[in-house]
Each structure stands twice: as C-alpha cells, then as structure tokens.
Structure 1
Amino acid sequence: GKRELTISLGIATYNVHSKNKNDLIKRADEALYEAKKTGKNKVKVWEAEFSKQSEYNDKLAGILTGNAAYDYDKVSSMIEMLNITKSKNDKITKIYEMMKKLIIKTDSTESYIFFVEHDRILDMKRVVKDFEGFSEIGYFNKDIIREVRINREGIYTIDWEEIKEVGSLETIPKWHSICVLPLINGEKLKGILYFSAPAYIKEFDFKDFNYIQTLSDYISILL
C-alpha cells in the first residue's frame, strides 16, 4: 500500500502464433519486451514485427556456440554440403546425399523432400537413416505440409496426430518430433523438407530449425 504497482504483459497464443511451446515462450517474451519498451504498464499481443529486433542474433543460433569442437563440426557440415553441390553427380543424387547428411547431423530418423511446381506437389522422396537409397513412402503429416506450402514458413513441433506404435510403458504413444521447411529459390517455392524423429529420443528446437534451414539452402540451389 506504500507505492503503486504496475505490470507489463506479453502474450502469445497457442495455435495462432505457434504450435511449439518454446516458440510461444520466445514470442511472449518478445511481446513483453515491446510492452516495456513502449512505456510499460500495458499488455502487448505478439506480432511478427516484434521478432525483427532479435532476428540478427537468431541467425547464428544452432550454428556458432563458442564451443570449438561443436562449431568446427557445424562449419565442416556447411563445407561438405557445398562440396556436394559442386560434385559431378546428378541433381537427385546430390539431393539424396544432402538429405542423408542432414539426417545424421540432426539425429533424425527419416526425411522427406516434396518437389513443388506452380504451388503443387509433383513428386516426393523419402530417405531413412539406416537404409541406403530412397525408401518407400510412409507416414507424414499432410496438414503440416499444406500449412508450410501455403504460408511458406517453416515449423518445428510434435506431431500429435501421429501414433505409430505404443511406447515401452504400453500407455504412451510414440509421437514424433518434426521439423518442416520450405525450399525457396528466388521467390518461388520449389520444395519442402520434412525431418522426423521419435520425440522420446529427439525433440527439435529453434537451434535445430535454424541449422537445418541454413543447410537446406544448398538444396534450394539445386531446385
């Protein structure tokens, strides 16, 4: 009762601003920063422009950390991807080699590439971690693919719609963590990359997303 109390709030809404909890927390924090920056004692609901202030710093997330061994491995991967683009192999072989490398580097179990032309998916390929060559098409979340195709923005989340098998406790479904990104060459959407791993083994975060997005640009060049 001796002094006035004020409060600033930042709000991010599930399914409107993101479906990923870490993304929601990050965006709520950006909205909170905007509330404080513009005078305090107010509520701000997240808007895309709030992210622009932190966009520069985010570009290196998942690529450079200050850990010499980790950073060397990440930069080496970028050089390896570049060398694949310069090889004499045909386009499809290059894409396969890049997808295989990204699966290993991100601890994924499988990956899809969807080839897009005039905003329509014309073909798709699947690469599985412990299988040589392209594999038969299996399960993927069509709604997420549609969302990325329409919005041209990547997403990393848990695929709550997928239940492949029951977990070891026979009560917990083995949901998969997925990371899906558009492949844009110039201003045209040329493809979509889709990475998946069991959530109990690997859950994609923003650093994984940023790392895959950076290396996937080498694939975009080929499309």
Structure 2
Amino acid sequence: MPITYGHLLGDKILKKLGEVVKSNIRKNDLFFRYGGEEFLILLPDTNKHDALNLAERIRKKMETSLFVDGRAVTASFGIASFPDDAEWKEELLEKADKALYVAKERGKNRCELWDETFEQKGRVTDKLSGFLTGNDLRDTTKILTMIELTELIKENLSKEEIVFKFLGRLLDSSEGRYAGILFIEGGKIYNQLWRKANDDNWIKFNNINNRLLNKVLKEQKGLYGIDWDEVFEYDVVKNVHLLYSVMLVPIVKDKVLRGIIYILAPSNDKEYKFEDYNYVSVLANILAMLL
C-alpha cells in the first residue's frame, strides 16, 4: 500500500486498517505486519468459522470506511486453523497464504477458508522457490545436484548405489546432518537406508518421529518444521538438548507412494522452510524415475 499510494497516504491507510482491526479483536489476539502489504491476525482458542466471521466484519468495515480517489480501499483474507488444517506453524502459514491467493484470484475483497482443493494453488513464483536464492554457491550446488542425479540414469547402478549417491548429494545441497530413504509397499515401510553428512558409510538411524511419519503415510503429503518430540542428541557446548529441523518428502511414482525422504538438520544451523521443501520435492521426482 505505501508503494501504490505514496508514503503519506499509505500511512493513513495503514493507520485506519490498524484501527479497524484493533476495534474488532480481543485483548489476547495478535495483529502485526507480515510483509509489504500483508498482515497476520492470530486468534487463540478460535475455530475457523468464528475466524471467518471476524474477517468478514473487518473486510466490510474497511470497504465502507476508507476511500482513495473515490474508490473503496478493500482487503482480502485467507484463513487456516490449528490443528484442523495444519499442525506446524510453517504449514499453517502456507495454507493461510494459499487461501489468501485464492481470495485474490477470485476477485479480491473477499474471505476464503483453507480447503484441500487449494493444495495446488499458489503464487507463480512458488514453483521456482528454493532454486534461486541469491546465494551463488548454494544455487550452483543445487543445480549441479539435479544435473548429477539426472545423469545417474545413464549408469548401470544397483538400487543401493543410486540411493547412496542420492543421499550424499541431498545432504550437501540441503545442509542436512542425517538423511534417509524409507521404502514403502502396500502402505508399509519394508526397508530404509540412511547416511550422515561427511560419512562415507551407511549408518543405522533409529530416531524417527513416528507421529510425523504416520501423518505422511496417512495423508500422503510431506511436511517440514521443527521436531519438538524427538530429542536424541545433546549440545555439550550450550548445555541444552539439540532440536532438529526435519523434512519428510513423499516419493510418488505412477500415483503410488513408493517411499519417503527423511532429512534432519540441527535447528540452530538450519530451519527448513517451504523453499527447501519445494527443492527436495523436485529431487524426489528425480529419484522416483531412478528407482
């Protein structure tokens, strides 16, 4: 808004928006700016339908109380709820963002509740998100990783050899510490292979979060974020238990779930986000072709 209307008028609009929102939310609700023209309203202990009613009140108040050049200033809303729509904060934000995208796509000045049919919706740039980060070294590593993995098709390698090379390149390009492939048949895991960063051998890894794994198996959708449940290492320097950021990415071939890529990185070094998930999803498609 400040860019579109100029700083002084933009500030007036933002001030009015703040007044409208604050007059409609409770004391324990949170309202803050999330981007250039985007804001978040966090509503504790509120179901999605009550959140929708609140959004509608704010939307209607905005379009009847503030005008620029004779035109109403309007707002669009995307709504998602915990735990109905998402269990992780990153997933919740992503789904609210996609619902907002749909609201804008359907004509703006409207509210949309998250719906499973929005899954494939998103900004045009989302499909490229995670590839071009602006960090030349990381971008080059990711591009080379995809090229090298694609080249494996020409080599006469066993499944284990393919997975070994895949996990090595995955750990390098995703900044992970542990990575594994869980092979699935008939909805059940029948084998798994694991590697650790900077280790040229297979390892045994038993610290899988079964709750997250079962969620992916059930919904056949990946996830990413901080694993607050599974704590298996200790940081002796900081004298604290080490939390891990994790990604679980489905490997799908011929519309059947064939496996899951499971990656872990110390959360104080790396916190996986949508961009990382998007990138590994492409690698998962390459692996599906190789296996």
Is the shorter-chain TM-score for this pair beyond 0.5, marking a shared fold?
yes
Are the equivalent residues in 2 in contact too, given 1:84–1:98 (CA < 8 A)? no
Return the letter of the residue paired with 1:124.
Q
Aligned partner of residue 108 in structure 1, secondary structure:
coil
Superposition deviation, residue 64 in structure 1: 3.4
Alignment match of 1:90 (pick from 135, 158, 166): 158
Alignment match of 1:202 (pick from 261, 264, 270): 270
Structure 1 match to 2:88: 20
Superposition deviation, residue 156 in structure 1: 0.7
Structure 2 match to 1:102: 170
Note the alpha carbon deviations across 1:13-54, whole angstroms, 9 max, x for none: 133323332332232233234445556665422123335442
Aligned partner of residue 272 in structure 2, secondary structure:
coil
Q: 1:157 to 1:39 in 2, by over 3 A?
A: same
Point out the more displaced range, 173-182 or 68-77.
Answer: 68-77
Are the equivalent residues in 2 in contact too, given 1:125–1:134 (CA < 8 A)? yes
2:70 is the alignment partner of 1:10: no
Aligned partner of residue 173 in structure 1, secondary structure:
strand
Structure 2 match to 1:220: 288
Are the equivalent residues in 1 in contact too, given 2:130–2:279 (CA < 8 A)? yes
Alignment match of 1:126 (pick from 180, 194, 210): 194
- Name the Cα RMSD after superposition: 2.6
Q: 1:40 to 1:216 in 2, by over 3 A?
A: closer
Structure 1 unmatched ranges of 5 or more? none
C-alpha separation between the residues in 1 aligned to 2:174 and 2:158? 25
Return the letter of the residue paired with 1:32.
L
Structure 1 match to 2:58: none
Point out the more displaced range, 102-111 or 46-55.
Answer: 46-55
Write out aligned runs for 1:163-174 (5 A): 163-167=231-235, 168-170=237-239, 172-174=240-242
2:184 is the alignment partner of 1:116: yes
Note the alpha carbon deviations across 1:164-192, whole angstroms, 9 max, x for none: 2444443x431110000111111221111
Identity of aligned residues (%): 29
Q: 1:39 to 1:182 in 2, by over 3 A?
A: closer
Return the letter of the residue paired with 1:4.
T
Point out the more displaced range, 33-42 or 181-190.
Answer: 33-42
C-alpha separation between the residues in 2 aligned to 1:210 and 1:38? 25
Are the equivalent residues in 2 in contact too, given 1:157–1:179 (CA < 8 A)? yes
Note the alpha carbon deviations across 1:58-106, whole angstroms, 9 max, x for none: 2211123566655443222111011223222212111111111101111
Write out aligned runs for 1:17-166 (5 A): 17-35=85-103, 38=106, 42-54=110-122, 56-65=124-133, 70-166=138-234
C-alpha separation between the residues in 2 aligned to 1:36 and 1:16? 23
Aligned partner of residue 184 in structure 1, secondary structure:
strand
Are the equivalent residues in 2 in contact too, given 1:85–1:218 (CA < 8 A)? no
Q: 1:52 to 1:139 in 2, by over 3 A?
A: closer
Q: 1:54 to 1:90 in 2, by over 3 A?
A: same
The structure with the largest alpha-carbon Rg is 2
Query: How many residues end up aligned between the 2 structures?
Result: 221
Structure 2 match to 1:192: 260
C-alpha separation between the residues in 1 aligned to 2:108 and 2:257? 41
Q: 1:74 to 1:7 in 2, by over 3 A?
A: closer
C-alpha separation between the residues in 1 aligned to 2:120 and 2:180? 30
C-alpha separation between the residues in 1 aligned to 2:147 and 2:114? 37
TM-score, with structure 1 as normaliser: 0.86
Structure 2 unmatched ranges of 5 or more? 1-60, 66-73
